[in-house]
C-alpha cells in the first residue's frame, strides 16, 4: 500500500529536467563568468563570452532553418569553433556530427550523405578535401536540396579568398542573438551527437548518443579521473573522437580552461604546457612517443605533474614506465565510440604505490573497472553468455550495459541488433578478468592470431616488443601459414637513434622473453606504422602486407618449407588439440 502511494507521486516539472551536458555551460557562465574558458594562440575567452557566443551561434542556426534533430556536421581540428559547436548545436535542438579530419573526400561524402547533414562547417585548412567531398555528394545525391549549407571557419592565419559558399562562422556569431533561449530537450533520450566509427575493423557506422548518455558519461569521467575544479586542459585528443571523450562538456562542468591546439606536434604540445601551466590532457598512447622523442629545444621541464588520461589503444607497460619520469601522471582508460568513449578506467589503488615501478606499470596497463554510470561490465563466453572465471587467464568477449551505451547505429537496424545480445552490448574485444576484478584486454576479436589452434594475443606480444630498448613502435598481425593457419608477423619501427638491429636480433629477443610458439615468424622493419587520426594502428593494412609474406610451399613436392623458427612447443600445443 505504502509503495503504491509512493509510486502514485507524479513526475513533475520541478523534479524532472532532462539530463543534458549543455546545462554545464550555463552554469559555468553564471558562476565562473570571468574565468578563462578557452585559449587558442592569441585568442582568449571567458565563460561569459563562451556562453554568449554559443547562444548567438545557436540562434543563427535556428534562423537558418535548422529544426529539431537536424544534423549539423563539422570538419575541423581542435579550434575554438569546434569547441563552441559542442554546446551551440544541441542548444539549437540539433545533432552534432564531428567528422574525422583524416578521412578522404569519398568517406566524408558518404558521411554527409548518410547523416543527411543540413549544415556543414569546414575549417579553412580542410576546404580542398571538403570541396571534393561536396562534388562527389552532388554527383551521387538525386536532389540539389539534399546538399548541406556550407559555412567556412576562418582562422587568424587562413589565407584570404579561401571560400566555399558565402557564409563564415564569425558572421553567424556576430549576427546571432545573445539572449537566445536554448531549445528545450523534451526527452533526455533525444539524440545529441552522431559519431561515425573510424572503421578500423569494418565499414564506418553512425553511433547515436543521447543527452542522458552524454551527461552521465561526462560525470563518470570527471569522477573516474578525479578532475578537480579549474583544470587547464590541453586538447591533444581530437574533439571529433567521441566528442573528446566527453571532456568538451566536462571542462565546462569544472569551470576549467580549454587550451585549443591545431597540430599535435611535440613543439606545440610543450609550448602550450609551458605557457598555460596545463594540468590535464587526454591522448592515445602513440602521443607518448611524440613527447618522448621531442628534440631537446622543443621540450620543457614539467614542474607540476600533468594528468594524462590515455586509451583508445593498448598502452604498453614499458611506455608507461618511460613517460611518468618526465612529469606526466598516467591514468589508463578503455572504451569505444559505441560507449560514448571510455567505459573502463584503471582506477588506481593506494596499496599499489608500495610496489616496484615495473609492477605498477603492469597493473596500470590493464584496462580496469567500469565507470560509475555503467550498470555492469563482464567478460563472457559468447555462445552461452556465461561469465568467465576471474582467473586472469580465461578469455571471452568484453560486454557492457548501462546509460552510456549508444542508442544504436543510425539507419542500420541490422548492425544495431547484432551489437546487442541478451541485454548486453558486445564490444568485439577479447579480454580476461583478474582475481581482483580488473579487466585486461587481450585483443580485438578480429586481431587474435590463431596459430595451430592456440590463441595468441597480439597485445601481449607487442608489449614484449616495446620493452626492447631500440623499438619505438610495434604491431603484430596474423600472417597466413600453410600448416598452422596463422602465425605472428611483427612490424617494427626503430627509435631514430637506434643502431643497426636485424630481424634475427628481434627474433632472438622474443625467444628469450616469450613462449616459443608466440615468437613472430617474421619481423618487418618500417619507418612508421600506419595509424588512424585517433592514433590507432591500422592493422588491416598490415594484415594485407603480411599476406604477401606467405610461408613458401614448395611446388614440386607440396611439402611445406618448415619455418626455421618453428619449434617443439608449438608442436606440443598442436598435439593438445
Q: Which of 50, 60, 125, 198 binds ligand ADP (CB under 6 A)?
A: 198
Shorter beta-carbon distance to ligand ADP: residue 320 or 492: 320
Residue 332 C-beta: closest distance to ligand ADP, Å = 6
Shorter beta-carbon distance to ligand ADP: residue 152 or 207: 207
Site mask for ligand ADP (CB under 6 A), range 356-395, x = bound = -----------x----------------------------
Using rule CB under 6 A, residue 318 touches ligand ADP: no
**Cα Rg for the chain, rounded, in angstroms?**
25
Q: Any residues with CB less than 8 A from the CB of 227 and at least 6 apart, and which? A: 221, 250, 254, 256, 280, 307
Residue 446 C-beta: closest distance to ligand ADP, Å = 9
Shorter beta-carbon distance to ligand ADP: residue 311 or 318: 311
Using rule CB under 6 A, residue 335 touches ligand ADP: yes
Using rule CB under 6 A, residue 200 touches ligand ADP: yes
# binding residues, ligand ADP (CB under 6 A): 21
- The alpha carbon dihedral of 18, 19, 20, 22 has a sign of positive
Beta bridge partners of 185: none
With CB atoms as reference, the residue minimizing the distance to ligand ADP is 200
- Decide: 227 and 234 in contact? Cβ < 8 Å: no
DSSP strand pairing (449-451 vs 454-456): antiparallel
The whole-angstrom separation of Cα 248 and Cα 79 is 12
Shorter beta-carbon distance to ligand ADP: residue 148 or 315: 315
Residue 315 C-beta: closest distance to ligand ADP, Å = 7
Beta bridge partners of 210: 191
Using rule CB under 6 A, residue 337 touches ligand ADP: yes
- Decide: 429 and 409 in contact? Cβ < 8 Å: no
Residue 344 C-beta: closest distance to ligand ADP, Å = 8
Shorter beta-carbon distance to ligand ADP: residue 428 or 482: 428
Using rule CB under 6 A, residue 312 touches ligand ADP: yes
Q: Which of 40, 47, 87, 334 binds ligand ADP (CB under 6 A)?
A: 334
Shorter beta-carbon distance to ligand ADP: residue 216 or 313: 313
Using rule CB under 6 A, residue 80 touches ligand ADP: no
Interface with ligand ADP in residues 523-552 (CB under 6 A): 534, 536
The whole-angstrom separation of Cα 109 and Cα 97 is 13
Using rule CB under 6 A, residue 446 touches ligand ADP: no
- The alpha carbon dihedral of 66, 409, 169, 233 has a sign of positive
Span near ligand ADP by CB under 6 A; candidates 79-87, 415-423, 426-434, 553-561: 426-434
- Decide: 153 and 53 in contact? Cβ < 8 Å: no
Beta bridge partners of 194: 208
The whole-angstrom separation of Cα 46 and Cα 35 is 5
Interface with ligand ADP in residues 19-38 (CB under 6 A): none
Shorter beta-carbon distance to ligand ADP: residue 262 or 444: 444
Q: Which of 191, 231, 314, 370 binds ligand ADP (CB under 6 A)?
A: 314
Shorter beta-carbon distance to ligand ADP: residue 403 or 457: 457
The SS3 assignment for 284 reads coil
Q: How many CB atoms lie within 10 A of CB 85?
A: 29
What letters, b where the CB count within 10 A reaches 16 and e where it falls short, cover 526-535? eeebebbebb
The whole-angstrom separation of Cα 38 and Cα 259 is 6
Using rule CB under 6 A, residue 311 touches ligand ADP: yes
Q: Which of 22, 37, 98, 197 binds ligand ADP (CB under 6 A)?
A: 197
The conformation of residue 450, written as its DSSP 8-state character, comes to E
Q: Any residues with CB less than 8 A from the CB of 302 and at least 6 apart, and which? A: 273, 326, 327, 328
The whole-angstrom separation of Cα 76 and Cα 60 is 19
The SS3 assignment for 86 reads helix
Beta bridge partners of 553: 560
Shorter beta-carbon distance to ligand ADP: residue 21 or 311: 311
- The alpha carbon dihedral of 533, 536, 540, 546 has a sign of positive
Shorter beta-carbon distance to ligand ADP: residue 340 or 373: 340
Q: Which of 336, 406, 464, 472 binds ligand ADP (CB under 6 A)?
A: 336
HSE (side-chain half, CA atoms, 13 Å) at 516: 12
Q: Which of 37, 427, 458, 463 binds ligand ADP (CB under 6 A)?
A: 427
The whole-angstrom separation of Cα 347 and Cα 333 is 9
Using rule CB under 6 A, residue 213 touches ligand ADP: no
Residue 207 C-beta: closest distance to ligand ADP, Å = 8
- Applying CB under 6 A, which residues contact ligand ADP? 197-200, 311-314, 332, 334-337, 367, 427-429, 441, 444, 534, 536
Amino acid at each position: 500500500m505504502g509503495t503504491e502511494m509512493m509510486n502514485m507521486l507524479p513526475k513533475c516539472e520541478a523534479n524532472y529536467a532532462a539530463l543534458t551536458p549543455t546545462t554545464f555551460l550555463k552554469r559555468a557562465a553564471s558562476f565562473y563568468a570571468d574565468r578563462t574558458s578557452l585559449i587558442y594562440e592569441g585568442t582568449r575567452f571567458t565563460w561569459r563570452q563562451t556562453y554568449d557566443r554559443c547562444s548567438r551561434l545557436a540562434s543563427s542556426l535556428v534562423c537558418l532553418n535548422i529544426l529539431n534533430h537536424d544534423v549539423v556536421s563539422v570538419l575541423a581540428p581542435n579550434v575554438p569553433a569546434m569547441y563552441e559547436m559542442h554546446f551551440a548545436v544541441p542548444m539549437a535542438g540539433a545533432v552534432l556530427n564531428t567528422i574525422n579530419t583524416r578521412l578522404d573526400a569519398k568517406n566524408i561524402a558518404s558521411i554527409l550523405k548518410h547523416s543527411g547533414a543540413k549544415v556543414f562547417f569546414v575549417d579553412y585548412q580542410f576546404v580542398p578535401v571538403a570541396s571534393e567531398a561536396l562534388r562527389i555528394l552532388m554527383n551521387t545525391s538525386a536532389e540539389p536540396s539534399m546538399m548541406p549549407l556550407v559555412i567556412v571557419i576562418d582562422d587568424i592565419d587562413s589565407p584570404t579568398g579561401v571560400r566555399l559558399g558565402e557564409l563564415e562562422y564569425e558572421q553567424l556569431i556576430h549576427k546571432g542573438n545573445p539572449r537566445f533561449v536554448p531549445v528545450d530537450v523534451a526527452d533526455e533520450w533525444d539524440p545529441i551527437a552522431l559519431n561515425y566509427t573510424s572503421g578500423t575493423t569494418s565499414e564506418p557506422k553512425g553511433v547515436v548518443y543521447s543527452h542522458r548518455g552524454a551527461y552521465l558519461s561526462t560525470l563518470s569521467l570527471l569522477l573516474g579521473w578525479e578532475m578537480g575544479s579549474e583544470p587547464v586542459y590541453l586538447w591533444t585528443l581530437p574533439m571529433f573522437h567521441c566528442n573528446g571523450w566527453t571532456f568538451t562538456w566536462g571542462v565546462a562542468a569544472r569551470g576549467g580552461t580549454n587550451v585549443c591546439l591545431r597540430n599535435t606536434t611535440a613543439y606545440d604540445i610543450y609550448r602550450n604546457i609551458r605557457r598555460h601551466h596545463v594540468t590535464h590532457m587526454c591522448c592515445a598512447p602513440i602521443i607518448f612517443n611524440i613527447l618522448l622523442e621531442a628534440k631537446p629545444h622543443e621540450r620543457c621541464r614539467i614542474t607540476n605533474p600533468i594528468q594524462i588520461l590515455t586509451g583508445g589503444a593498448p598502452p604498453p607497460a614499458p611506455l608507461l614506465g618511460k613517460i611518468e619520469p618526465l612529469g606526466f601522471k598516467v591514468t589508463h582508460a578503455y572504451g569505444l565510440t559505441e560507449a560514448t568513449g571510455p567505459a573502463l578506467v584503471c582506477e588506481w589503488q593506494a596499496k599499489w604505490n608500495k610496489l616496484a615501478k615495473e609492477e605498477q606499470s603492469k597493473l596500470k596497463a590493464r584496462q580496469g573497472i567500469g565507470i560509475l554510470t555503467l550498470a555492469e561490465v563482464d567478460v563472457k563466453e559468447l555462445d552461452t553468455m556465461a561469465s568467465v572465471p576471474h582467473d586472469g587467464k580465461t578469455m571471452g568477449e568484453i560486454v557492457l550495459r548501462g546509460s552510456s551505451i549508444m542508442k544504436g547505429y543510425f539507419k542500420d537496424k541490422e548492425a544495431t541488433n547484432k551489437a546487442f545480445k541478451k541485454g548486453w552490448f558486445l564490444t568485439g574485444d577479447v579480454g580476461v578478468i583478474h582475481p581482483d576484478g580488473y579487466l585486461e584486454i587481450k585483443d580485438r576479436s578480429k586481431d587474435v592470431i590463431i596459430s595451430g589452434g592456440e590463441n595468441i594475443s597480439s597485445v601481449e606480444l607487442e608489449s614484449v616488443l616495446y620493452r626492447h630498448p631500440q623499438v619505438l613502435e610495434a604491431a603484430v598481425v596474423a600472417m597466413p601459414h600453410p600448416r598452422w593457419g596463422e602465425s605472428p608477423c611483427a612490424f617494427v619501427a626503430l627509435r631514430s637513434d637506434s643502431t643497426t638491429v636485424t630481424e634475427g636480433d628481434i627474433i632472438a629477443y622474443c625467444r628469450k622473453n616469450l613462449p616459443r610458439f608466440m615468437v613472430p615468424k617474421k619481423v618487418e622493419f618500417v619507418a612508421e606504422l600506419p595509424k588512424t587520426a585517433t592514433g590507432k594502428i591500422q592493422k588491416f593494412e598490415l594484415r594485407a602486407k603480411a599476406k604477401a609474406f606467405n610461408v613458401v610451399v614448395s611446388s614440386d613436392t607440396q611439402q611445406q618449407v618448415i619455418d626455421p623458427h618453428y619449434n617443439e612447443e608449438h608442436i606440443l600445443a598442436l598435439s593438445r588439440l
